[in-house]
Amino acid sequence: MINLLPSEIKGQYRTKSVLYSLTLIYVIILVGLALGSAALATFNLTSRANISNKTETLAGLNEQAEKKQELILKAAFIEDRLKAESSQKSSPHWDAILASIASDTPANVQLTSININQDGSAFTLTLGGETNERRAIVLFKDKLEADQSFEKARINNITDSSTAEFKKYGFTITTEVKNAS
């Protein structure tokens, strides 16, 4: 095949062809950069939305955890109050107990000590006193046994500290308080 085109036209044609190729490459690069920039912007927006969503979720979970902790504290408080109330209900009425002791004490007996010991829900009283008659000690123990507030009354000891002029007997009596429930 014979090429009849003059060399100037051939040069112009090549120049236009190279220029067209360069323009096409430049446009493709610009489109690629624009698409990459759009993709990065979209990724940035979705990442921010995702982070915001997770932050809100964490804040909600934290609030729920605080509410649960508050409920646990309230439940513990209520449980403590119920235990305190039940222990108050199971403990004897001490005014009535002391009134019973006072009414059971014979006139010639002087109480010098009252000790209360608690073992679980059982209460034991140890009464110490003095009298001028041994018989009054036994009478006191018998009255305590007969009283509805006490059980298992027993004389622990009797000491004689009498002088030539005065009779004086010291004693301790132990009894259990009946459960009021």
Class of domain 94-177: alpha beta
- For residue 127, the cross-strand partners are 114, 173
Q: Would you kindly state where each structural domain of the chain is located, as residue ranges?
A: 1-90, 94-177
Q: How far is CA 142 from CA 52, 98, 131, 166, 178, in A?
A: 82, 17, 16, 25, 16
Residue 27's identity, in one-letter code, is V
Q: How far is CA 25 from CA 29, 39, 45, in A?
A: 6, 21, 30
pLDDT for res 69: 94
pLDDT for res 122: 75
To which H or E segment does residue 110 belong?
Answer: strand 109-119
Span 144-167, pLDDT tens digits: 888 877 888 888 888 888 777 888
